[in-house]
Amino acid sequence: MLQKCWIALVVVMLVSSTDWILGYGIQNAKAIKRDLTHYDKAGPFTLDVLGPRGKTEAQVREFLWDHWQRRRLGYLVFTDYSKEGEPTTLSFFVEPDENGEWHTSITWEGMRYARGGRKGKWHEHGEYSAYSLGRIQIPKDGLTPRIPISDDAKRPAGGYLLVFKDSGGKTIMEL
């Protein structure tokens, strides 16, 4: 229990004290400086593998979908834990790119630990740009075809998944 509280405290301290660091991203191999005072903010949220996730996931989806639909600057941070307990922190920036086209910039970073008797750990990070954001019905299993939901359909955020696609239409992630 103490270890779990310590991890949560470190995540909150990291996100709170480095807001200005998370305001930078790497896109097309050049640094982007963002003035986060102009962004609506949500989070930091934590999605614990052992705890209830539905309400938090719905808050995350609702914030991102609303800002995407209304073309409002938005910044959201959440940390998700794998079943092995490895944290991954994701930052979402809903914003226009350098050409004025709206997109969602997604940066992520996490710590990974060796398994199978090996020792060591390493840091991973990356960034994606999603130029399309849509909603789908929540699949009943991983093999169910994805059924899109129209942009104007009213649905509670707990009743759909978001689908992020790159400029070529390839799915980056579902949330």
Q: Where are the domains of the chain?
A: 2-130
Check pLDDT > 50 for residue 26: no
Q: Is-cis flag, bond preceding 44, omega within 30?
A: yes
Torsional sign, CA 66, 136, 80, 127: negative
Digit-coded pLDDT (tens) for 74-124: 999 999 998 888 999 999 999 999 999 999 999 999 988 888 888 888 889
The C-alpha atoms of residue 175 and residue 163 are separated, in whole angstroms, by 7
- pLDDT at position 129, please? 97
Q: pLDDT confidence of 23, banded at 50, 70, 90?
A: very low
Q: Using alpha carbons, select from 91, 64, 75 the residue that is nearest to residue 161.
A: 64
Q: pLDDT confidence of 142, banded at 50, 70, 90?
A: confident
Six token digits for residue 158: 């707990």
Q: pLDDT confidence of 17, banded at 50, 70, 90?
A: very low
Q: pLDDT confidence of 31, banded at 50, 70, 90?
A: low
- pLDDT at position 38, please? 97
Q: pLDDT confidence of 169, banded at 50, 70, 90?
A: very high
Q: Using alpha carbons, select from 107, 123, 110, 118 the residue that is nearest to residue 173.
A: 107
> Which region among 17-21, 102-106, 154-158 has the lowest average model confidence (pLDDT)?
17-21
Check pLDDT > 70 for residue 50: yes
Residue 132: how many CB atoms within 10 A of its CB?
A: 17
**Mean local confidence (pLDDT), 126-138:** 95
Q: Which conformational region is residue 75 in: left (phi greater than 0), alpha (psi within -120 to 50 degrees), or beta?
A: beta
Query: Which residue shows structure tokens 């593998």?
Result: 49
Compute the C-alpha angle 157/162/164, nearest 5°.
155
